[in-house]
Chains A and B, each alone.
Chain A
Amino acid sequence: MGRYLLRFAGLGYLAVLLVVPVGLVFWRTFEHGLSAPWHAVMTHDARHAFWLTILIALVAVPANTVFGVALALAIVRRRFPGKGIVNAVVDLPLALSPVVIGLALLLLYGRLGWFGPFLDRHGIQIVFALPGMILATIFVSLPFVVREVVPVLREIGTEQEQAASTLGASGFQTLVRITLPAIRWAIAYGVVLTTARCLGEFGAVSVVSGRLAGKTDTLTLYVQDQFESFDLTGAYAASVLLALLAIATLVAMNVFRPKEEIR
């Protein structure tokens, strides 16, 4: 009896907080048929926002994956001065509000920022352009791969790596053949979380993008733009697109994951 009650409470909590609101967005989008939302997402600005979001994720996710795995290896396997500080700083993007991160980038790369005059002289635009948005997205989605990989690296220990080295494997061969396969599901999960975070990023990107429709609007920014200009159909349709991207990410991971490893 108690077991059912607990299960009911758990499902109810999820339903009220997650399923109902998201379901409502879907229902609102499609309540008058497919035609209106289809046209809404096929406008120039919506399509541009969609591809910009994808492009930013395609740069930020690989960058954070490579950097995240390297950082996790350094934190777990190496001893270096300031390791404790590095370990703490990795979590900074989780603790800091994205708006603050956006402002920080503005102060650094903006026209009046530290590097502003230098960048200006060389005709490089970072803020209010794609590079700034990519930087902001990398910043906010940095911790996920590191945080997924670190505990798994600790758990597998160094014995397998030592065994590989006695069998003739170089450091690089050991990394590729032993360490990376051993942590592959942690990396995969970290990539999914990073991707979700990149697609959904709003605050930091909003500060550094300048929000030029059809130029520096990502999907999340586009949703808010449409909402503010009373184009509810456009806002809902773009929201559904965002949700579908997130679902696709999750499905992709489960497809690539072999059956025997699901326990």
Chain B
Amino acid sequence: MSIVVRDITKRFGAFTALEGVSLEVPTGSLTALLGPSGSGKSTLLRVVAGLEQPDAGEVLIADEDVTEAAPQRRGVGFVFQHYAAFKHLTVYENVAFGLRIRHRPRAEIAERVGELLRLVQLEGFAKRYPAQLSGGQRQRMGLARALAVDPKVLLLDEPFGALDARVRKELRAWLRRLHDETHTTTVIVTHDQEEAMEVADRVALMNAGRIEQVGSPRELYELPANEFVMSFVGPVNRDGDAFIRPHDIELRTEPNGATREAMVERLVHLGFEVRVELVRDDGTRLSAQVTREEVAALELEDGQIVYVRAVRQTTFTP
């Protein structure tokens, strides 16, 4: 079920968190709200959930205007960055909460909770309290709790932000698989572009209370609408007005007319890929990304003089 947001404005005192934001989230999609901190992405998600009231604009969930509706009437599942676990309830009771509020029969609740605990791989933990779980387990409980009430849309506010890198990666892949199984319309807020690119099929990039661009991860990467998008969705070199991705820099040992001279300042080995940090004769610093094989073929080492050329570069006309 789709989400439509129209001309939302939200101010906190003198600070404008959202300025006339419009966005459509198609049914069954997994959309990421990506942006630096303070860009308004969490506020937008909270406006959709009804946890914040917008100063202007409207919110539609499944074609129904819910702008004035209380959170409990919107049919959303919300997952919080810091879990918001009910500390005095067991894992079972946490997941069952929404069903108990709806006065579902006991047997049905037991079946549904059991099913969800299997889904989030917490079968053996039903009787534990949140304090006895790891961060990753708590967040999976949070997801199961949100899914228990069959929400029309699932909203995740930096769900993996408080977890360590390895668990974050695991849960990310797991969330993607979960979405492929359930097809619940999902919006995930993140400040991590890698996370957005990996997990989402659509990304809305936000900056200073506005949406800069909406598209597939590939569109944002390959056809960025402006400088901000270009530099936010991946590493970038700046050469005058031109923006060059590190993997679009070609290195040669001999000049060929189109190349410019540069010195290898440092080689950073990142496994399969190697980042070559270069400084040109005019003082411009560039960072090129090449494979291990290329480094071996070119016999690159620190202090060496090489000849560089941008295979592809992007300029934006203001």
B51 CB-CB contact with A under 8 Å: yes
How close is B189's CB to chain A, nearest CB, in angstroms? 15
Closest to A164 in B: B97
Interface size range of chain A in the complex? 10 to 19
A182 CB-CB contact with B under 8 Å: yes
Given contacts A162-B51, A181-B88, A182-B87, contact A167 B149 (CB under 8 A): yes
**A128-167 Cβ-contact flags toward B at 8 Å (1 or 0):** 0000000000000000000000000000000110111111
Cβ contact within 8 Å between B97 and A166: no
A169 CB-CB contact with B under 8 Å: yes
Residues in B whose Cβ lies below 8 Å from that of A177: 97, 101
How close is A140's CB to chain B, nearest CB, in angstroms? 32
How close is B173's CB to chain A, nearest CB, in angstroms? 25
Which stretch in B75-83, B179-187, B205-213 binds the other chain? B75-83
How far is A159 from B149 in the complex, measured between Cα atoms in Å?
18
Cβ contact within 8 Å between A166 and B51: yes
How far is A169 from B70 in the complex, measured between Cα atoms in Å?
10
Q: How many A-B residue pairs have CB under 8 A?
A: 60
Cβ contact within 8 Å between B78 and A163: yes
Closest to B77 in A: A166
B57 CB-CB contact with A under 8 Å: no
Cβ contact within 8 Å between B101 and A163: no
**B134-148 Cβ-contact flags toward A at 8 Å (1 or 0):** 000000001001101
Closest to B81 in A: A159
Residues in A whose Cβ lies below 8 Å from that of B76: 166
Cβ contact within 8 Å between A159 and B88: no
Residues in A whose Cβ lies below 8 Å from that of B50: 165-166
Cβ contact within 8 Å between B72 and A166: yes
How close is A66's CB to chain B, nearest CB, in angstroms? 21
Given contacts A159-B84, A163-B84, A178-B86, contact A169 B78 (CB under 8 A): no
Residues in B whose Cβ lies below 8 Å from that of A168: 72, 98, 101-102, 149
- Would you list the 6 A-B pairs with minimal beta carbon distance, nearest first? A167-B98, A159-B84, A163-B84, A166-B78, A165-B71, A181-B88
17 more CB-based (< 8 A) A-B contacts, given A162-B51, A166-B50, A167-B148: A159-B80, A159-B82, A160-B84, A160-B87, A163-B84, A163-B86, A164-B86, A166-B49, A166-B71, A167-B145, A167-B149, A168-B101, A168-B102, A169-B72, A169-B97, A177-B97, A182-B88
